A and B are shown apart, each in its own frame.
Chain A
Amino acid sequence: MWLPLATGVYMAVEQMPALPEAAQSIGAQERKKTLWKRIREGRVAYLMLMPTFIFLLIFMYYPALLGLYRSLFKWSAGLQGKFIGIDNFVRLFTKDKVFLNSLDNMLQLAAWYVVSTVGVSLFIAILIHRLRRGRTQYTFRLLMILPVVIPSIVPLMLWKFIYDFKVGPLNVFLTWAGLETWTRPWLADPNVALYAVMLRNFPWVDGVAILILLAGLQAIPYEIVESAMIDGAGEMRRFWSIELPLIAGQIKLISVLTIMWGVQEFTAVFAMTQGGPINSTMVPGMWMYFNAFSVGKMGYASSIGVVLFLITLVLTVVNMKYITTEEY
């Protein structure tokens, strides 16, 4: 499931151009008032904003700015930092093989998350949408969201068990099927660990994505579909020529959300492998955590945080300029 934060990034993009319209309705007499007078009249508003901004200043702005600032320091926990300019970043991109490798892993994971989420969810959403009986449709919609309410740590733990070398069902199954040579310690073998993390949660049912796509499908006016059917369009034609173009917006939304989430996410790696074995499943977030809290290189770890921030920023800008459409 995506973080609300990631959803937030997307919404923020959507909202950028839309100025609150009340601002334009300030009457002529209002404008004549001095600024001071208007500020005094607005004091209720400032009071209402106060709790929000107190929290934001202390727990959001301050840490965010400090994170940017501290990335320029050689800084260990509890010690006075030493300013070293952009050395941390230079080292990240020239000397730190683990970090470069973690970027590669991150890209692979994010790419797979997008493909599997969009592919499987689209297939399921179309199937549910084509169900004729309303009750069946409703039931499946409900069933598909149900897994969302299981705490997200639970599937991670269960899949860690499924991949277990000795008792894990996967190896037991392979042995039973006569494929003993295929069995391996899935999460402890550096050659396959990343793919084991990637392919967890088979068959990749994502209730949220399904709901979003289904909402898009159901918003398609029935007349369009009907007229196409009268013209003799079959199931496949109906999908490619009508439904797919009309839910392109939802598919883009899901892709953007999933990429943003895939860049930052390291809970799965944290819970299943901690980045191991031999850093084969390392992702930037996990590497940052390790540097900061296991070896105490806080400044260096902050610079990884800044890199992640910049990636998010670039993705947001690209999305805002080239991808976001207004059609849904």
Chain B
Amino acid sequence: MSVDTSDPKPISAVSAGQQVAIFKRGDWWRTVVLSLFWLGAILPMVMAFFISFKTLSQFARQPFILTSPLHWENYDLAWQVVQQFILNSLIISSVTVIGVLLCASLSAYAFGILDFPGRHILFYMVLTLMMVPSALTLIPSFVLVKDLRLLNTYWAMILPWIASGQVFAMFILRTFFESLPKELFDAARIDGASEWQSYWRIALPLSKSMLGVAAILNILGTWNNLIWPFLTVTRQDLLPLTPGLWTYQTANFTRYGLMMAGILIGSIPLVILFIFTSRWFVAGLTSGAIKV
């Protein structure tokens, strides 16, 4: 008896194939519409790029289209100012993120893996903080930082940001720790490992990508904060990037080429971060949608 090895053609195959063809044909207009949206979204950046090479007289003659000669010195001059802001931001954001990851992973380990009296009460104490908007704490925090004599120091930003940033990081990490197999930690305990060793040798190495996601979200938050640094730091040389760029723009609003060059330089650090961590970025940005 011969076996028919060829796939029996389902009736729907033909029509489905036609459907696919129709879809592929539809791709071109979708590509066009999507490209238009994207171009619209980045058009201001393109404009900034063109203007950034202009002197004032070039701008007066032809404001929005690239004209030669290109004045690279705008970038040179802008860099002189903006580099300090970038450095400040790098210091502040990296110290903050280290503090956040340390505190958050420790407390996430305690809440997620360990059992102790008061666990629920303490956990809900942290949870309620999520409903407190920054508007409520802005003024008292400012008074507090002022009383602690932290105004015009990096700490005025780092310490409050560790406090507020760790809450969200703790939630992500706790959920992740809870999903790890309990046997792992039981085995470690039987082998005589202390909880500190389990935390450092098991929990942390296993959650590298989650730590990455938490870190990225935290960095985005601190990097983009305008109001708080503007309030607590008045010394120009201590300003992080976001408020720094803002004061830079206010000071150079009519020197268009210089202003745009500064804005573009200030955009670069996060883009570099994105290039190296795009996977964490994507996971982090959608984490609100993941059911935690």
A interface residues with partner B (beta carbon < 8 Å)? 1-5, 7-12, 14-16, 19-23, 26, 35, 38-39, 41-42, 44-46, 48-49, 51-53, 55-56, 58-64, 66-68, 70, 77, 120, 124, 127-128, 130-133, 136, 140, 142-155, 157-162, 167, 169, 172, 201-203, 205, 207-208, 211-212, 215-216, 226, 229-230, 250, 253, 257, 263-264, 266-267, 270-271, 284-285, 288-289, 292-293, 298, 301-302, 304-306, 308-309, 312-313, 316, 328
Contact = CB atoms under 8 A, between A and B. Distances in A.
Contact of B270 (A35, A150, A162): A150
Interface string B8-21: 00001001100110
A48 B132 contact: no
Interface in B20-37: 20, 23-24, 26-27, 30-31, 33-34, 37
B267 interface: yes
Interface of B: 12, 15-16, 19-20, 23-24, 26-27, 30-31, 33-34, 37-38, 40-42, 44-45, 47-48, 59, 63-64, 102-104, 106-107, 109-112, 114-120, 122-123, 125-144, 159-160, 162-168, 170-171, 178, 194-196, 199, 217-218, 220-221, 223-224, 226-227, 231, 241-242, 245-246, 249, 253, 256, 259, 263, 266-267, 270-271, 273-274, 278, 281-282, 285-289, 291-292
Contacts of B231: 293
Contacts of B30: 127-128, 130-131
A128 B31 CA distance: 8
B222 to A, nearest CB: 10
A158 B44 contact: yes
Contact of A304 (B15, B128, B135, B285): B135
What's the dominant secondary structure at chain B's contact region?
A: helix
A306 to B, nearest CB: 6
Given A52-B103, A63-B136, A172-B63, 15 more contacts: A5-B221, A11-B292, A14-B292, A20-B120, A48-B107, A56-B166, A58-B159, A60-B164, A62-B144, A64-B132, A67-B140, A145-B281, A226-B16, A304-B135, A316-B131
